[in-house]
Amino acid sequence: MGRKLRAGILGYGRMGRAFVAAMQQSGLWEIAAIYDIKAATRTLASQRVPGAAIYDNPGAIFADSSIDALGLFTLADARPDQVHQALANGKHVLAEKPMAADIATEWQLSARLTSRMFTDVFPPT
């Protein structure tokens, strides 16, 4: 097997824990860093994912050039800004649904992501 993808996780609540467990079971991912707003949840993350750096602020995860992708398992109202920050830092994004707290923001985000996907896959000639 080749190199594992290094993931940073934002949000280690119920959904974040489920995604992390699936990522670990797949054998394709290394969970490199976890952020959560709650101290008790960060403690749980440090116990369940002992090799991961644990943060009370997501800034270091966005800035870490060794992280390939970010899993965004936070509240829907926080995700659009996190998606923008992740893309600005060259990260791939995995996110639970909904991507935003309202449909208008989801459509705007979807348009940006779709535009970026096609730009990355099919660069302008």
What is the Cα–Cα distance from 40 to 121, expressed in whole angstroms? 41
Residue 35 binned pLDDT confidence (cut-offs 50, 70, 90)? very high
Architecture of domain 5-121: 3-Layer(aba) Sandwich (3.40)
What is the DSSP-derived secondary structure letter of residue 57? Answer: S
Q: Global pTM?
A: 0.86
Instruction: Give the position of tokens 């934002």.
Output: 10
Q: So where are the chain's domains?
A: 5-121
Judge whether 29 and 49 are in contact, CB under 8 Å.
no
At residue 38 the predicted structure's pLDDT band, cuts being 50, 70 and 90, is very high
pLDDT at residue 2, as a whole number: 80
Q: What is the pLDDT of residue 110?
A: 81
Q: What is the CA radius of gyration of the chain?
A: 15
